[in-house]
Amino acid sequence: MKNTLLLSSLFTGLIIASFSKAADPIPTEDDYYKIVKFEIPKDVVLEAGSIELTADNKLFVSSRRGEIWSIENPFAKDLAKDAKWTRYAHGLHEVLGLASKDGWIYATQRGELTKLKDSNGDGKADIFQTVSDAWEINGDYHEYAFGSKFDKDGNVWIVLCLTGSFNSNSKYRGWCVRVNADGTFTPTCSGIRSPGSIGFNAAGDCFYTDNQGPWNGTSSLKHLLPGSFQGHPDGNKWFDLKEAKLAGPKPETPKSGSRMMIEAERIPQLMPPAIYFPYKKMGQSASGIDFDKSEGKFGPFQNQLFVADQTNSTVMRVHLEKVHGRYQGACFPFRKGFGSGNVPVMASKNGHLFVGGTNRGWGSHGSKPFALERLDWTGKVPFEIHEMRAKNDGFELTFTHPVDPKTAADVASYKMSTYCYIYQSAYGSPEVDFTYPKITSAVVAPDNKSVRIVIDKPVAGHIHDLTVAGVRSKDGLPLLHPEAYYTLNYIPEKAK
């Protein structure tokens, strides 16, 4: 019965595919960025937790089942033929962070940061040394630990999920901590709920993704400024510990049912999310983070962030700017269709984005139980909103191709709504406090690469949800993704 079903669905699928090809001339994501699958060896269950590329171009991938695989030739055109897989380690506790330094691999396990070394050169780690186990776990499955790469000071940053994703019942649950390669342990920020990953931007500042739940209206990208409070108060109990003093004074407890920016005004440590990913519109479980460090080898998005989503099996794109000294910016759809539930991403200098996935325990649209994929740029530049910047009275949009000035200057080409979330102890939040600003003008720059839109009027603390359905490129193409979501925590001062 199953075979029949598969055959019939394949058949239907073929018909649809060929039909749409003939009828639809508009290019798709696949024309610009191709998903290349790694052939995972038979019998290996690679539920990817983290990815690291070492200096000798070996790709290390850790799994939730506690293995670390090293893959030679990860850039090979024919991965099935040329990628060489070796099991570097096994038996570790759900590794969700990999970094490398001085010939050691650093693995963030649930209960500790461990460094591993292959001392006899047989390709397999034989030293497993604990760098720090200064936080605790109690057997609750939600107590995950996600680890970053090394920062410039030699620290791995680790975000520790709450117990049951609601409470902090073990030491430093709900915290971001830093562990130096020399073992020094520094509690850094409280307020974490249920992270999906952690990574840096091009400036070396650390960010993590947190997920919809208590005190988190939707999933978001947050800046881990040392001493800041990331919004969920349950971990604040650990401020009483001596070493936690390093993270500054304990923040006040936010008022449930309020709004983020009202509370941020009152609680100086409270860091509003740099980016909200509106639920469903963008994703439902934000995860892996990395930035484009390819200097153009991966397309036009140099230094922008790529953030994965586990439920939707997508990678989103983020452009950040600093307003009032804090990060905020816009997110855009980028690429969908990955094989499993995306968790780690890793961008390489030579212009590839590695994406790993698992959907064990949490469903994803990519239906494979696990996957490892590489996103390659085809060399063609899609017509996209390149950057979206806040202005005192609206936004400035730049594009990856010159725009058709006529459609770009037409205010009817743009549609905007704004909303925010209830900042509350209950799970998630609907979108609330809607406004529908009027686009009063759209002025195209002389080089046709940017448009300045003025709106009546921007609302601080709201997501500005913009659809640019009408703008065409000079070649007459619509935007590959007309949607943009700008998290306007702060409105910039009027330019002098």
Partner 1 sequence: MLFILAPDYYCPPRNYKTMRKNISVLALCFFITAVNTTQILAADASKRPIVPGFERFSQGKEIDQAQLGLLLLGELNCTSCHAPTTTTKGLIQAKQAPLLDKVAGRIKPEYFESFIAKTHEIKPGSTMPQVSLGNTEQEKQATAKALAHYLAQQAGATEKLIFDPKQVALGKTLFAQSGCVSCHAGRDQAAKEILNVNNSVPLGALENKYTVGSLTNFLENPHQVRPSGRMPAVLKDKKEAHAVACYLLQTAKTSPKSAGVLKFEYFEGSWTKLPDFTKLKANAKGIASDFDVEVAQKVNNNALRFEGWFKLQSAGKYTLHLGSDDGSKIWIDGKLIIDNDGIHPHTIISKTVELYKGEHKVEVGIFDGGGEYSLTVEIESNNLPRQPLSGICALDEKTAEGTTTVATAAPAAAPGQPEVFKLDAALATKGRALFASVGCANCHSMNENNKRIPAVVQGPELLKLRPETGCLSENPQGKSPDFALDAKQKAAIALALKNLASMPPSQDSKALINQTFLSLNCYACHQRDKIGGPEDSRNASFVSTQPEMGDEGRLPPALTGVGAKLNPDWLKLVLEQGTKVRPYMLARMPKYGSGNVNHLIKPLGEVDTIEPVEAIQFADTPAKVKTSGRLLVGSKALGCIKCHTFNNQKAEGIQALDLTSMPQRLKRDWFQRYMLDPQPFRPGTRMPAPWPMGKTFFDEILEGSTKKQIEGIYVYLSQGSKASPPEGLSREAIVLVPDKEPIIYRNFIEGAGARAIGVGYPEKVNLAFDANSLRVAMIWQGAFIDAARHWRDRGVGYQPPLGDNVISLPAGPTFTTLASEKENWPAITSKEQAGTFISYTTDALGRPSFQYKYADVMITDFPTPTKNKEGGFSRAFTLESKTPPALLYLRAAVGTKIEEQKEGWFLVDGEYKFRLVGAKKPIVRESNSKKEILVPIVFENGVCKLVQEYSW
Site of interaction with partner 1 (CB under 8 A): 1, 5, 8-10, 12-13, 16, 45, 64-66, 90-94, 109-112, 126-130, 133, 136-139, 141-142, 164-167, 213-214, 279-281, 284, 311-313, 359-367, 369, 426-430
CB of 366 to partner 1, least distance (A): 8
Closest alpha carbon to 116 in 175, 169, 27, 52: 52
- Cβ closer to partner 1: 312 or 328? 312
Separation of alpha carbons 361 and 205, rounded Å = 31
Match 């998903």 to its residue by tokens: 35
Contact indicator for 399, 444 with CB cutoff of 8 Å: no
Between the alpha carbon of residue 94 and those of residues 67, 118, 146, the distances in Å are: 8, 20, 10
Match 């994965």 to its residue by tokens: 308
- Cβ closer to partner 1: 136 or 456? 136
The amino acid at 39: E
CB of 273 to partner 1, least distance (A): 19
- Cβ closer to partner 1: 119 or 392? 119
CB of 319 to partner 1, least distance (A): 23
Contact indicator for 228, 251 with CB cutoff of 8 Å: no
- Cβ closer to partner 1: 127 or 262? 127
CB of 278 to partner 1, least distance (A): 11
Give the count of beta carbons closer than 10 Å to the beta carbon of residue 237: 17
- Cβ closer to partner 1: 202 or 432? 432
Phi and psi (nearest 5°) for 65?
-85, 5
- The DSSP symbol for 10 reads H
CB of 433 to partner 1, least distance (A): 15
The size of the chain, in residues, is: 496
Match 């934000």 to its residue by tokens: 286
Q: For residue 248, give both structure tokens.
A: 């500054």
Contact indicator for 65, 406 with CB cutoff of 8 Å: no
- Cβ closer to partner 1: 10 or 412? 10
Contact indicator for 294, 347 with CB cutoff of 8 Å: yes
CB of 347 to partner 1, least distance (A): 25
- Cβ closer to partner 1: 427 or 436? 427
CB of 1 to partner 1, least distance (A): 7
